Structure 1
Amino acid sequence: MSASNDSFGKTIGVAVGLCLLCSLAVSGAAVALKKDQQANKAADVQRSILLASGLLKEGEAGDVTALFANVETLIIDMESGEKVEGVDVAKFNQRKLAKTPGANKVLTKDEDIAKIKRRSKQAKVYLVRENGKLKSIVLPVHGYGLFSTLYGFIALEADTKTVVGLKYYEHKETPGLGGEIVNPQWIAKWPGRTALNDQYEPIIKLSKTGVKNDNEIDALSGATMTSRGVENMMAYWLGKDGFGPFLKNIRGGKHGV
């Protein structure tokens, strides 16, 4: 007597076979699309840099590749603020280095106001020039908000004190609350604000009670922890433990200024 085609074993076999075929299809698609995904991510980061620097306006399409030709990319040593030679800029991965023993600095509790635990000993920074003269400096910043680490860029004028612009490109904060860090209306409040005082100490603040001074930005409504996270990351990255040494070198005429 022949075995039934509806046997339990055959049903399991068909199900397993279908699962394997689907897995292979999904894996193949992921591999095939990986380069495109990486290219899109790189283009998104470049677009964020252009938006922070003012080379591109929110809502504009623009040729990102052409506009980015006006941006000089440097790898710097965080302790000295000096340019690091012989590093492949295209392959430099600051996030990966921040997790790599020997390539990172583990922060003390007092140092870690941005709640990042450790940072790379090197960083990628960007200089925008106009007719050979430094126009703005774009710095990568990140720090913890309420639910996630926020990643973005802040751009300063050549005086290293005045904000040109701000742009966040990655976060997992609450939509409508902390997620408002990407709202163009809130971002538009940053240009012209004073980030550092005359002693070049970070002084940018997010205020819940209205803006009274040129170093203040309106805090995000209903998002106290995210607002605090933004303020703390600016204090860290613009301070002596962050990009302070690099900004000091800029003021001293280094890096082609």
Structure 2
Amino acid sequence: MAINRDSNGYTFGFAIALVVVVGTILASLSLGLADIKKANAEKKKKMDILSAIGIESTRSTVDGIYDETVLNSFVVDATGNVIEGEKAFSVDVRNQYRNKTIEKADRKYPVFEAKNAEGKMITILPVVGAGLWGPIWGYIAIGEDNETIAGAAFDHKGETPGLGAEIKQSFFEDRWVGEKISVNNEFQPIQVVKDGSGVNEMKVDGITGGTITSVGVGEMMNRTMAVYVKYFNNKK
């Protein structure tokens, strides 16, 4: 029997079939894009971790460099004790910081142990906080003595160009190198200042015109390093 293409039934059936086909295609594209977005985010995270110890990489080279450089990783709790079975790379510290339903005592702190270009074992630690206009974050490298900052890499989402956004520039990141997060096994807060006295111990000069963002960096550094000092003390 011939199909009546002018009938309401045919038109309705054709429309449903078209919706199903288009929906399937869009769903497949969405899943594919989600996978690509996730892969790119993971590569960016690896690049950021490596940048804390001065190792440059690209999206095409980062996986191999990361696997050769980061030799171990794990997660500690707010008391500095290792949490068995947790994967450090999977912990989203930025989301954890935003999620106000997670108690501070329940936050997880990733630890990445890596070998730098000189063959020294460095511990890389993530930090996250708030700037003037949005989230700020970074990775801090701690030297073999487990107390001296060996490198820093900061970033932001929406700080003002030329002002707060300067936290991601090397001149600011380098100011943290050599500072200590602990003295005699006691956490030592680092003060971000705007009076030019950052050359003194336990002080870092902030960004001119980016006071609130600079203070945000200091707050996230001290809040987070206070926890990691507990971890370093526990491993002694």
Structure 2 counterpart of 1:160, one-letter code: N
Gaps in structure 1 of 5+ consecutive residues = 1-21, 106-117, 253-257
Classify the secondary structure of the residue corresponding to 2:83: coil
By relative contact order (CA 8 Å, sep 6+), the higher-ranking structure is 1
The 2-side partners of 1:193 and 1:234 are apart by 12
Higher helix content, 1 or 2 = 2
Tell me the residue number matched to 1:31: 31
The 1-side partners of 2:89 and 2:222 are apart by 28
Classify the secondary structure of the residue corresponding to 2:122: strand
Sort the Cα spacing of 1:24 and 1:93 in 2 relative to 1 into closer, same or farther, 3 A.
Answer: same
Match of residue 200, structure 2, among 196, 201, 213: 213
By how many angstroms is 1:231 displaced? 0.9
**Pairing 1:85-234 to 2, within 5 Å after superposition:** 85-89=84-88, 91-96=90-95, 99=99, 104-105=102-103, 118=104, 120-129=106-115, 135-210=121-196, 211-234=198-221
Greater shift in the superposed pair: 66-75 or 194-203: 194-203
The 2-side partners of 1:233 and 1:97 are apart by 14
**Superposed CA RMSD:** 3.0
TM superposition score normalised by structure 2: 0.75
Classify the secondary structure of the residue corresponding to 1:31: helix
The answer to whether the 8 Å contact 2:146/2:232 transfers is yes
Structure 1 counterpart of 2:224, one-letter code: W
By how many angstroms is 1:226 displaced? 0.7
Corresponding pairs, count? 209
The 2-side partners of 1:73 and 1:246 are apart by 13
The 2-side partners of 1:196 and 1:217 are apart by 15
2:230 aligned with 1:248:
no
Sort the Cα spacing of 1:119 and 1:209 in 2 relative to 1 into closer, same or farther, 3 A.
Answer: same
By how many angstroms is 1:45 displaced? 1.0
Tell me the residue number matched to 1:5: none
TM superposition score normalised by structure 1: 0.69
Sort the Cα spacing of 1:95 and 1:128 in 2 relative to 1 into closer, same or farther, 3 A.
Answer: same
By how many angstroms is 1:222 displaced? 0.3
Sort the Cα spacing of 1:231 and 1:177 in 2 relative to 1 into closer, same or farther, 3 A.
Answer: same
Match of residue 224, structure 2, among 232, 237, 247: 237
The 1-side partners of 2:27 and 2:156 are apart by 25
Sort the Cα spacing of 1:124 and 1:136 in 2 relative to 1 into closer, same or farther, 3 A.
Answer: same
Percent identical: 25
